[in-house]
Structure 1
Amino acid sequence: GDLLRIQAPIAGIDSIAENGGNASSIFRFTATGRLLDVSSATSLQFGGSAYAGDVQRVLCVNSGGRARIAGNGAASCGADS
């Protein structure tokens, strides 16, 4: 596929963690807005320990690649993300 856009890092967020683990900086999406490789990320947490839990955000990605905001840093993704 063709590359549509490369976006610079968001300065106000110190990390994006996949599955609450390793920090990541590359997320590939399809032209329809779905996450391309859902096997590597079922949840994404925006903001690390430098931020209070109420300003962190957890995004859940379902098996079809669609993402939804689950809530603040204390939220988790259920089996039906």
Structure 2
Amino acid sequence: MGAGISKVALVVVEDTGPRTPEGALGEVFHRFYTERPANDFGNNSELVLAISKQIIDAHDGAIQAESIRPTQMDATSAPLGTRFVVGLPL
């Protein structure tokens, strides 16, 4: 988000479905990124997160993906899902 912004609205969305691999958390916002097998490509939109990021960027916001863990301090346990955090200036 841009410098000088003092108030931010945060939106947190958590998904406990299939986990996003740790190394791919930064990649999920690229167009057509998928972890699906090649024969499953296109059955669901691989553009949703890329379009979401473009809209958020256009409003001087930020979005990030992170793994959900039983406790955020426990980096050794297996993730329970993925959390998306969106910040938008007010």
TM-score over 0.5 for the alignment? no
Q: Which has the larger radius of gyration?
A: 2
Structure richer in strand, relative to its length: 2
Normalized per residue, the structure richer in helix is 2
**TM-score, normalised by the number of residues in structure 2:** 0.27
> When the two structures are superposed, what TM-score results if normalisation uses the length of structure 1?
0.29
Select the structure with the greater relative contact order (CA < 8 A; seq sep ≥ 6). Answer: 2
